[in-house]
Amino acid sequence: MTVMTIYEIPDAVLREVAQPVDAVTDEVRTLIDDMFETMYAARGIGLAATQVGVTKRVVVIDLQEGEDDEGKPIRDPRAFVNPEILSTSDETSKYNEGCLSIPEQYAEVERPARCRVKWLDRDGAVHEDEMDGLLATCMQHEIDHLNGVLFIDHISRLKREMLVKKLNKARRAA
């Protein structure tokens, strides 16, 4: 497996709309494996293919909730090919979101608390499920990436400008 480059704002690839995957092939499974390797190396919980410069509708998520007996996060890697939100709840929730493409920056984002999602798994099987909590938030965040939308697009212009200035200041200091 390979750790891929994660593109950061303002890279134009992050604003591209990803194309559907025609079939889940060995090439797509390799992409999924490399995306997991990249996400774990960056200490993230979700990653969209556009973030690694691949404009295909592929998302990987592992919330890594809980710890094993040795104190390591319990991994539950899940791959989503061509994920599609079928419906969302009227009820909303707020979460302090971050993004591997906007490193070390966070903002409170309000999204639907639940969503019904349809996708293909790494073997090409179709799934449909109701998601809530952090999984619903993460899925909506990652599908936004596939549509060229970033979490900072969901906050006020003033907060977005402050966040980008803070990121640029951190980059100059590094």
Residues labelled as active-site residues:
142
* Residue among 6, 23, 31 nearest 101 (CA): 6
Rounded distance between C-alpha atoms, residue 66 and residue 17, angstroms: 34
Please provide the size of the chain in residues. 174
Report how far residue 31's alpha carbon sits from residue 52's, in angstroms, rounded to the nearest whole number: 10
Token reading at 157? 């212009």
> Residues 65, 131: contact at Cβ < 8 Å?
no
Residue 111: how many other CB atoms lie within 10 Å:
21
Chain centroid to Cα 84, Å, comes to 14
